[in-house]
Chains A and B, each alone.
Chain A
């Protein structure tokens, strides 16, 4: 996917001014936060389960090569084929090769963020193969000129009912309707034809189970089952970090994933798919391929950002992020938005392309608190800021300003003088009132709020005067 993260600030400004979007974000905010809070109460020891989930993910990523080999062996035993892709271009090449080998004209897809990373839909279309998104949110976006998703589990969360009503009226040529069950029925009728005619199904994978060579899929609409069981060919595309050791581990992770993501005790559908259709079985694919993708992940192993590989893509960090809640996902400019995206985008799509993202966070740590695998997201964002500085990617004025400030702060007398002057300057700016309307030294502050006036003298001045006075009048 083309990266637009370099335009973060301009895009965020547009999103702030988008009244309809702001309404949609407000609806989503309340829903996600409240339902998760309710769902985690069901577990006697949610924190203990988080610890266990973190340990499982650490066990994998600390020996990723070993677990991937084990998964590969088991998957091969079940009749699947395992392919390795080093980047998005290779994902596209491999999938198109598979499609051509099996004479595929149409591919039904359930949600895959890696497919977004790779820009797979465009590549398939260019190769004369029709991709059909079947997750309702993804379908809405696909028929709306291939709009990118704005959330990793609720891709069309930025749209409202009226947007979808207008869209379906236009693309389906049906009378406009705003009844939600009627709208979903309409999408279902369109999609049904595709499910019946596609030769290949393509899905992501929430987890790969090394013990059994299976892929586990967490879905809510049932489309995942249609995609993975009806066509002759099933292709799973997923990142190499998604492997987990055992089915028992899967059950632990499933206690935290749906609860953290949608606030459900369990998703409506939960599938564990193992191998190709056996002679005595009635359904399932004749051919099963796993395309396991690197795309920057192997470089993260053992780096300062190693913990990020624990991520199980629940979306809780963005649902609880004050910045995401305020601007939505599109402003982040690539596949993954919110706190996890602000870490992943620099790592996978280039630090130099996403200078703003690690700074676009208040470091409030709401994300770190809700993360089901305890990724210290604020620490990782801060580490990225440090890497930017080391690599000279920050503006020169900012770097000089920071160094100068840090140097002055090490010279107490000079610092005290600076603070005295600063306090008086700010007091003067306030012009006898209790506030400064426009702060010349930091104009960004004043865009949406005033700056309260200082008292006018520094604490250290007043404290010194008080001590002096105490000496004079014993």
Chain B
């Protein structure tokens, strides 16, 4: 049987900050039996432009991304936020251009967040990770509330034998990142992050895990500023792939 052809959308933040998350995603997808292609012209999905009120910029980047990825059976990103932007927002921002709308809608229906794809589409039985210890899971807002990413990462983490999941209070509450919000209103953003970090610390978990790098950078930055050096901050793909 032909392997499922997946276009990996690495995301601009992973490209810049944490390449190992991209490689972890690659390993997981290949491990699940996919043929993974990483288009080298990919840049950013355009969400920062869209959320900052630059509709023309967002439209241009949407078209670019659609053209790069529409040849694949599926598009997968290690981020709920970026994959939701393709899935939910592309059809909205291209609503006025019928030809592009059709292409956007077609791509949207084949775009997945990584853990959702592994569970829902590939129905994976096992993952290579071997993490030992307690972790707590931060549900990132867009993945959770727009795409229903909740049980998928937990179902995968449950396959790691030595791992114990300890839910924190307010795991569904925003960490305060909010993209450009974090640099426009840094103090408010950091104060929201502090509540999140207090909940993480109160859970007693050795590591906090999430599916969106933006949130994770925010959480890690706040934990360290609060003087916490011991709590690991990991992307779910790193854990599942055994790349942590």
Q: Which of A's residues lie within 8 Å of B, judged by CB?
A: 9, 12-13, 16, 322-323, 325-327, 356, 359-366, 368-369, 382, 384-390, 394, 398-399, 402-403, 405-407, 409-410, 412, 415, 419, 422-423, 426, 434-435, 442-452, 454-455, 457-464
Q: Mark B41-67, 1 if CB is under 8 A from A, else 0.
A: 111101011111111111011001000
Return chain B residues, CB-CB under 8 Å to A389. 52-55
The answer to whether A444 and B46 touch across the interface, beta carbons within 8 angstroms, is no
The answer to whether A419 and B57 touch across the interface, beta carbons within 8 angstroms, is no
The distance from the CB of B60 to the nearest CB of chain A, in whole angstroms, is 6
The distance from the CB of B117 to the nearest CB of chain A, in whole angstroms, is 19
The answer to whether A444 and B184 touch across the interface, beta carbons within 8 angstroms, is yes
The answer to whether A322 and B40 touch across the interface, beta carbons within 8 angstroms, is no
The answer to whether B221 and A362 touch across the interface, beta carbons within 8 angstroms, is no
Q: Out of B16, B173, B187, B189, name the residue touching A13 (CB < 8 Å).
A: B187
The answer to whether B186 and A386 touch across the interface, beta carbons within 8 angstroms, is no
Return chain A residues, CB-CB under 8 Å to B60. 406, 410
Return chain A residues, CB-CB under 8 Å to B61. 406, 409-410
Return chain A residues, CB-CB under 8 Å to B18. 454-455
Judge if B106 is at the interface, Cβ distance under 8 Å.
no
The distance from the CB of B193 to the nearest CB of chain A, in whole angstroms, is 6
A-B contact count (CB 8 A): 206
The answer to whether B221 and A403 touch across the interface, beta carbons within 8 angstroms, is no
Closest chain B residue to A26 by CB distance? B195
The distance from the CB of A436 to the nearest CB of chain B, in whole angstroms, is 9
Q: Out of B54, B195, B221, name the residue touching A402 (CB < 8 Å).
A: B54
Q: Out of A382, A447, A454, name the residue touching B186 (CB < 8 Å).
A: A447
The answer to whether A445 and B183 touch across the interface, beta carbons within 8 angstroms, is yes
The answer to whether A444 and B49 touch across the interface, beta carbons within 8 angstroms, is no
Judge if B217 is at the interface, Cβ distance under 8 Å.
yes
Q: Mark B65-108, 1 if CB is under 8 A from A, else 0.
A: 00000000000000000000000000000000000000000000
The distance from the CB of A335 to the nearest CB of chain B, in whole angstroms, is 21
CA distance A449 to B19 in the complex (A): 23
Return chain B residues, CB-CB under 8 Å to A398. 52
The answer to whether B191 and A410 touch across the interface, beta carbons within 8 angstroms, is no
Q: Out of A402, A450, A461, name the residue touching B224 (CB < 8 Å).
A: A450
The answer to whether B191 and A359 touch across the interface, beta carbons within 8 angstroms, is no
The answer to whether A460 and B55 touch across the interface, beta carbons within 8 angstroms, is no
CA distance A149 to B95 in the complex (A): 41
Given the known interface contacts A359-B184, A412-B40, A451-B217, the answer about A388 and B19 at a Cβ–Cβ threshold of 8 Å is no
Stretch from B126-134, B141-149, B150-158 at the A interface = B141-149
The answer to whether A455 and B17 touch across the interface, beta carbons within 8 angstroms, is yes
The distance from the CB of B122 to the nearest CB of chain A, in whole angstroms, is 22
Judge if B222 is at the interface, Cβ distance under 8 Å.
yes
> How many of chain B's residues touch chain A, expressed as a range?
35 or more
Judge if B159 is at the interface, Cβ distance under 8 Å.
no
The distance from the CB of B39 to the nearest CB of chain A, in whole angstroms, is 9
Return chain B residues, CB-CB under 8 Å to A405. 48-49, 57
The distance from the CB of B240 to the nearest CB of chain A, in whole angstroms, is 18
- Chosen A-B contacts, 29 in total, with CB atoms closer than 8 Å, are A16-B187, A16-B188, A322-B174, A356-B185, A362-B179, A362-B192, A364-B141, A382-B50, A389-B53, A394-B53, A398-B52, A402-B49, A402-B52, A402-B54, A402-B57, A406-B61, A407-B57, A419-B15, A447-B186, A447-B190, A448-B186, A448-B190, A450-B220, A452-B224, A455-B17, A455-B18, A458-B15, A461-B19, A464-B40
CA distance A446 to B187 in the complex (A): 9
Summarize A's interface: helix, strand, loop or mixed. helix
Return chain A residues, CB-CB under 8 Å to B19. 455, 457-459, 461-463
Given the known interface contacts A364-B178, A386-B53, A447-B186, the answer about A452 and B217 at a Cβ–Cβ threshold of 8 Å is yes
The distance from the CB of B200 to the nearest CB of chain A, in whole angstroms, is 14
Q: Out of A390, A407, A410, A452, name the residue touching B17 (CB < 8 Å).
A: A452
The answer to whether B178 and A361 touch across the interface, beta carbons within 8 angstroms, is yes
Given the known interface contacts A361-B178, A366-B141, A382-B53, the answer about A323 and B192 at a Cβ–Cβ threshold of 8 Å is yes
Return chain A residues, CB-CB under 8 Å to B187. 12-13, 16, 444, 447-448
Q: Mark B211-232, 1 if CB is under 8 A from A, else 0.
A: 0000001101110110000000
The distance from the CB of A96 to the nearest CB of chain B, in whole angstroms, is 40
The distance from the CB of A299 to the nearest CB of chain B, in whole angstroms, is 20
* Given A382-B50, A398-B52; 5 other pairs, CB 8 A cutoff: A16-B187, A363-B178, A399-B54, A450-B224, A458-B16
Return chain A residues, CB-CB under 8 Å to B220. 450, 452
The answer to whether B15 and A460 touch across the interface, beta carbons within 8 angstroms, is yes
The answer to whether A448 and B194 touch across the interface, beta carbons within 8 angstroms, is yes
Judge if B7 is at the interface, Cβ distance under 8 Å.
no
Return chain B residues, CB-CB under 8 Å to A447. 186-187, 190
Given the known interface contacts A409-B46, A455-B18, the answer about A386 and B40 at a Cβ–Cβ threshold of 8 Å is no
The answer to whether B17 and A364 touch across the interface, beta carbons within 8 angstroms, is no
The distance from the CB of B89 to the nearest CB of chain A, in whole angstroms, is 9
Closest chain B residue to A441 by CB distance? B183
Return chain B residues, CB-CB under 8 Å to A452. 17, 217, 220-221, 224, 233
Judge if B199 is at the interface, Cβ distance under 8 Å.
no
Q: Out of B10, B174, B188, name the residue touching A364 (CB < 8 Å).
A: B174
Return chain A residues, CB-CB under 8 Å to B48. 402, 405
- Report the 6 A-B pairs with minimum CB-CB distance, sorted nearest first: A448-B190, A362-B178, A406-B57, A444-B186, A385-B53, A364-B174
Return chain B residues, CB-CB under 8 Å to A359. 180-181, 184-185
